[in-house]
Amino acid sequence: MSSLEKTKTVEVTKPESKAKEVAKKQRDEDKPVMQRKTPSPGTDETKGPVQAPGGVKKDGQPAEEAGRGRGRGLKPKQTPSPGDGGRGRGLKPGGKGPSPPDEPFAGFKLKAVPLKFIKKLQNIVLTEAESIGSAAVFECEVSPSTAITTWMKDGSNLRESPKHKFTSDGKDRKLNIIDVQLSDTGEYTCVAKNAGKEISCTAKLIVEELPVKWIKELDEETSPLKGQPLYMTCELNKERDVVWKRSGKILKLKTGKISINVIGLGHAVTVQNTTEEDAGLYTCEVANQPDVMTSTNVKVIEIIKDWLVKPLRDQHVKPKAAATFKCELFKETPNWKWLKGETEITPSDKIEIKKDGKALTLTIKNCQPEDVSDYTMEVEGRVYSAKLTLGG
């Protein structure tokens, strides 16, 4: 090969090598610089593969800034990693931010609210009269409000029912006892549980008993018609067993004749088809308390159209003679009397009154003008009259 040819070959090769070096340098410039190294003394920052924040001059021109305002050393429009504050200093792409502190709230700890009763149960005292149809309410306040509460009576658990109502509203806890009775007397306890701990508070319900007494007593007198039913009723202020008596003897049930009933607080006796044998003193007394008693006197009334079988007849006699009035009763009765005018007559030397079974007689001796009058037989409220006259 001639010297001229060799010279030409060398001249062609040099531009090719220079182009490769320029391309390599350009690739190095495009790579992001993740860590800034402190240049050694005497080293020119414009030389070498490390790119300064402001860019490296190339052919007298400043290099293009990477990602304007998006963080130094990052590619354009690349989102910085969390916690780098937009600066990206000392972080690798995709790196995590600083670890949170071991203790929450900068070292503060949450303390558990102690389980306690802010307001405790109070004793309740009711009299029996007040408790009829009313309710007793036990109320307390517990902290924290998330505590679970249950109720007990005399050491036994209570379940919610129409008799016992439970209420929970925030810290408030209530037990409603509906229609309080004597049997509700006792100790009531509220048990609170929270976080494995348990507390309780107790109060008493006291229902004071009223003495037994009659609200409605028997009528002083009862007068049924013969053959008609006899009703007797009375009422106590509370439920109690009673004993009925007639003329001091215990009254017993008799089918179709005597029935004894209890309706609420009321007590009643019914006697069917009354007769004179049903008359007498009836009493109703509280069992084991004979001093709590009420009574009525029963008189059976028979409706009689006419009490005299034979009516009285007028008497016309001579002066100083005797005049006799006679009559016969329909039935025996003690309720009769003789009258002169409107004055009752009593036996004397001049007046003679006799009774023989149902027959009654009135004799007036030695009749005088002053004896002239109307004479009357009064029996069971009925009156029958006749006249006495004098003549020759």
- Domain for residue 237, yes or no? yes
Do 197 and 220 sit in the same domain of this protein? no
Q: 348: number of CA atoms within 13 Å, CB side?
A: 8
In a domain, 338, yes or no: yes
310-341: pLDDT as tens digits: 889 999 999 999 999 999 998 888 999 999 99
pLDDT grade, residue 108 (50/70/90)? Answer: low
pTM higher than the cut 0.75: no
Residue 124 lies in a domain: yes
Q: Is pLDDT above 70 for 61?
A: no
Band (pLDDT 50/70/90 cuts) for residue 387 is very high
Residues 194 and 121 placed together within one structural domain of the fold: yes
Residue 286 lies in a domain: yes
Residue 130 maps to a domain: yes
Final residue before a domain boundary, out of 270, 298, 326: 298
Q: Residue 244 maps to which CATH number? A: 2.60.40.10
Question: Tens digits of per-residue pLDDT, 193-249?
Answer: 998 999 999 999 999 888 899 999 999 999 999 999 999 999 998 889 999 999 999
Q: Are residues 257 and 294 in the same domain?
A: yes
Q: pLDDT category, 302, cuts 50, 70, 90?
A: confident
The pLDDT of 337-361, averaged and rounded, is 93
* Per-residue pLDDT at 71: 45
- What's the CA gap between 358 and 353, in Å, rounded? 13
Say whether both 365 and 313 belong to one domain: yes
236, 281: one domain = yes
The least confident of 83-87, 179-183, 263-267, 281-285 is: 83-87
Shared domain check, 174 and 133: yes
* Residue 230: predicted pLDDT: 95
Task: Identify whether 339 is part of a domain.
Answer: yes
Residues 219 and 198 reside in one and the same domain: no
Mean pLDDT of 263-292: 94
Give the pLDDT confidence score for residue 44 in this predicted structure: 47
| Domain span holding position 231 | 214-298
Residues 154-177 have pLDDT tens digits of 999 999 999 999 999 999 999 999
- Residue 285 is predicted with a pLDDT of 96
| C-alpha dihedral (185, 213, 217, 133), degrees to nearest 10 | -30
Of 265, 298, 331, the one marking the end of a domain is 298
Give the 3-state secondary structure of residue 90. Answer: coil
| Closest by Cα among 35, 53, 37 to 91 | 35
Residues 225 and 201 in one domain: no
Structural tokens at position 307 = 């009490």
Task: Mark whether 159 and 131 lie in a shared domain.
Answer: yes
pLDDT (average), residues 249-267: 94
Q: Are the beta carbons of 354 and 279 closer than 8 angstroms?
A: no
Does residue 120 sit in the same domain as residue 143?
yes
Contact 55, 64 (CB under 8 A): yes
Q: What percent of the chain has pLDDT over 70?
A: 70
Strands 164-169 and 214-216: unpaired
248 and 200, same domain (yes or no): no
- The domain total for the chain is 3
Question: Is there a domain that residue 56 lies in?
Answer: no
On the question of pLDDT at 105 being above 80, the answer is no
Of the candidate ranges 126-135, 271-280, 326-335, the one whose mean pLDDT is the lowest = 126-135
Which contacts (CB < 8 Å, 24+ apart) does range 149-152 have?
Answer: 149/173, 149/190, 149/191, 149/192, 149/193, 150/190, 150/191, 150/193, 151/175, 151/188, 151/189, 151/190, 151/191, 152/188, 152/189, 152/191
Are residues 126 and 203 part of one domain? yes
**Angle in degrees, CA 377, 382, 385, rounded to 5:** 40
Q: Is residue 263 part of a domain?
A: yes
What average pLDDT score do residues 344-359 get?
93
* Last residue within a domain, chosen from 298, 324, 349: 298
pLDDT of residue 58: 46
